[in-house]
Amino acid sequence: MWEPDTLGWTAAFAEAFATLAAEGFEAARVAVEHQHLYSLYTRHGDLLADVAGSLRHRARSRLDFPVVGDWVAVRPRVGEGRATIHAVLPRKSLFTRQAAGDETQDQPVAANIDTVFLVMGLDRDYNPRRFERYFALAVRSGAVPIALLTKPDLCEAAEERRREIATMGLPVLVVSPKRGEGLEGLAPHLPAGATIALLGSSGVGKSTLVNRLLGEERLKTREVRLSDDRGRHTTTHRELIVLPGGALVIDTPGMREIQLSETADVDASFADIAALAAACRFGDCRHEAEPGCAVLAAVEDGSLGTERLEGHRKLQKELHHQTVRVDQRARLEQKRQWKAVHKAVKRQRTRG
């Protein structure tokens, strides 16, 4: 049996749920998202749920459907071990990524997260440019991002790499999930009722870390390939797990490549460049060839790495491109809708 107070329920959720409660609905939290089905934590225990037809009809995109971490209003069928989800409560945070392929809409990853650990290995998984992408998306989600660097025993330059990530302007923790080292530094970020998400590539130790925090081998883990230090996808779905101390953690499948969405906050990933840009001669400086550019001056004197600036330019261009794509798609959709309206009016006139 699960009570809302043990699952991160807050006064804000209670206020949003008041009207639904008066209509006889019960509150539940999404623990696992399957294909077209959801596993829920409820006061009746774990129930398997589907989405009500009315919710499907109201949904305009995948963002309107439940995702792991969501609080939902349900009508349980306890005798069947099932429930029906009728509404998704307003989210206090939502981590999204750009959907694969040519789609321009965001793909939700997890909701109502308090802290997101951006996990990266200090071995050959180490890639500051990829980490900048994670950071840009995490800041916009509404959760507090923290860098979690793993496998320090496999890197002779662990401290140097820790300092490099720290220049991005977020807290950095170094742990070894496999050895159980450094885990005490996580305690302040795991209070009872808090929801934490782990995001990073396969093989960086996310599942091993969850097992350490649980005190049992609940999640499957595999050794990384010796040829390239890459891990296989041992986590195949997102799951909200309750830790012994009362915190909740969401383990996610590895994402080696991640595209930016138009909601990403690129500037937040480059706090060092933003601080330098404040001293540029021109307020709209693009840090390319403008006179009096403090950013280019920092590159010249070596206080700012060239790769760091190139990473900033690349993400800014990608964000601009994505924003244009979204705007174009929105205009085409609006044009399609108006065309349908005109056809409907024309048919009505013909009949009239």
What pTM did the predictor assign? Answer: 0.76
**End of a domain among 43, 60, 88?**
88
DSSP state of 176: B
217, 290: one domain: no
Range of the domain at 11: 4-88
271, 227: one domain: no
Rg of the chain (C-alpha set): 23
Question: pLDDT of 20-37, one tens digit each?
Answer: 999 999 999 999 998 889
Residue 225's pLDDT is what? 46
**End of a domain among 251, 276, 310?**
251
127, 241: one domain: yes
Q: Identify the CATH number of the domain in which residue 80 sits.
A: 2.40.50.140
Picking from 3-17, 69-83, 262-276, which range would have the lowest pLDDT averaged per residue?
262-276
Question: Rounded to an integer, what distance in angstroms lies between the CA atom of residue 38 and that of residue 31?
Answer: 7
Say if residues 141 and 250 touch (Cβ distance below 8 Å). no
Q: Is residue 258 in some structural domain?
A: no
- 285-306 burial, b if ≥16 CB within 10 A, otherwise e? bebeeeeebbbbebbeeeebee
Total number of domains constituting the chain: 3
Question: pLDDT of 271-280, one tens digit each?
Answer: 788 888 899 9
